[in-house]
Amino acid sequence: MAMDSWSKLSFHHKIFVGLVGYSLLMVACLAAFQYNRERQFKADKLNAQLQLLNDRIIDDISECDTVFEPVLNELGAFDGLRVSIISLDGRLVYDSMLDSMPGADHRGRKEVSDAIREGIGFDTRRHSKSTGQTYFYSAKKGKGYIVRTAMPYSVSLDEFLSADYTFLWVIAGITVAMCFIGFFATRGMGENVARLSEFAERAERGERVYDTAAFPDDELGVISSHIVRLYARLQQALADRDREHRLVMEEEQEKIRIKRRLTNNINHELKTPVAAMQVCLETLMAHPDMAQSKKDEFLGRCYGASCRLNRLLADVSQLTRMEDGGDSIVRENVCIGEIVAEVCDEFKPVAAEKGVEIVCSLGYDAYVKGNATLLASIFRNLIDNALAYSGCSRIDIRQEPADGGYITISVADDGCGVASEHLPRLFERFYRIDKGRSRQAGGTGLGLAIVKNAVLFHGGKITVRNRKPSGLCFTFSLELTID
Average pLDDT estimate for 476-483: 78
pLDDT digits (tens, 9 = 90+) for 106-159: 888 888 898 889 988 988 888 888 888 888 898 988 888 888 888 888 777 777
Domain ranges of the chain: 10-161, 219-328, 330-483
Average pLDDT estimate for 67-87: 66
Q: How confident is the model at residue 262 (pLDDT cuts 50, 70, 90)?
A: low
Q: How confident is the model at residue 188 (pLDDT cuts 50, 70, 90)?
A: low
State the CATH class of domain 330-483: alpha beta
Average pLDDT estimate for 322-344: 77
Q: How confident is the model at residue 439 (pLDDT cuts 50, 70, 90)?
A: very low
Domain 219-328 has CATH 3.40.50.300: no
pLDDT digits (tens, 9 = 90+) for 281-297: 888 788 888 888 877 88
Whole-number pLDDT of residue 67: 41
| Cα distances (Å, whole numbers) of residue 472 to 122, 288, 396, 428 | 113, 49, 11, 17
Distance from chain centroid for Cα 401: 56
Whole-number pLDDT of residue 1: 46
Helices (H), 65-165: 69-76, 110-118, 155-161
- Residues whose CB falls within 8 Å of the CB of residue 225, separated by 6 or more in sequence, listed in order: 212, 215
Average pLDDT estimate for 234-241: 76
Q: Are 93 and 85 in contact (CB under 8 A)?
A: yes
CA distance 426 to 366: 28
pLDDT at 23 over 80: no
Helices (H), 1-138: 2-8, 11-64, 69-76, 110-118
- For the chain, helix (H) and strand (E) counts, in that order, are 12, 12
Average pLDDT estimate for 7-33: 73
Q: When comparing pLDDT for 414 and 258, which is higher? A: 414
- Note if the bond before 288 is cis, omega within 30 degrees: no
pLDDT digits (tens, 9 = 90+) for 44-66: 888 888 888 888 888 877 776 55
Mean pLDDT of the chain: 76
CA distance 130 to 102: 8
Whole-number pLDDT of residue 437: 46
CA distance 64 to 58: 10
pTM above 0.85, yes or no: no
Q: Are 316 and 446 in contact (CB under 8 A)?
A: yes
CA distance 408 to 428: 22
Question: CB-based burial of residue 42 (10 Å sphere; 0-12 exposed, 13-18 middle, 19+ buried)?
Answer: middle
Work out the widest C-alpha separation in the chain, in whole angstroms: 149
pLDDT at 82 over 60: yes
Average pLDDT estimate for 10-36: 75
Q: What end-to-end distance do the CA atoms of the chain give, in Å?
A: 79
pLDDT at 3 over 60: no
Residue 98: Cβ within 10 Å count: 14
CA proximity to 150, closest of 182, 116, 112: 112
Q: When comparing pLDDT for 128 and 72, which is higher? A: 128
pLDDT digits (tens, 9 = 90+) for 114-127: 888 998 898 888 88
Whole-number pLDDT of residue 441: 47
Whole-number pLDDT of residue 320: 64
pLDDT digits (tens, 9 = 90+) for 160-174: 777 666 777 777 787
Among 122-136, 197-211, 318-332, 417-431, which is the least confidently predicted range?
A: 318-332
CA dihedral sign of residues 292, 298, 304, 310? negative
CA distance 114 to 122: 8
CA proximity to 396, closest of 360, 362, 363, 364: 360
Residue 9: Cβ within 10 Å count: 12
Q: Are 384 and 376 in contact (CB under 8 A)?
A: no
State the CATH class of domain 10-161: alpha beta
Same fold, 10-161 and 330-483: no
SS3 content of the chain, % helix, strand, coil (to 5): 60, 15, 25
Q: How confident is the model at residue 260 (pLDDT cuts 50, 70, 90)?
A: low
pLDDT at 102 over 80: no
Whole-number pLDDT of residue 315: 57
pLDDT at 413 over 60: yes
Q: How confident is the model at residue 347 (pLDDT cuts 50, 70, 90)?
A: confident
3-state secondary structure of 334: strand
- Residues whose CB falls within 8 Å of the CB of residue 454, separated by 6 or more in sequence, listed in order: 322, 374, 375, 377, 378
3-state secondary structure of 452: helix
CA distance 149 to 456: 106
Angle at 184 between CA 182 and CA 190, to 5 degrees: 95
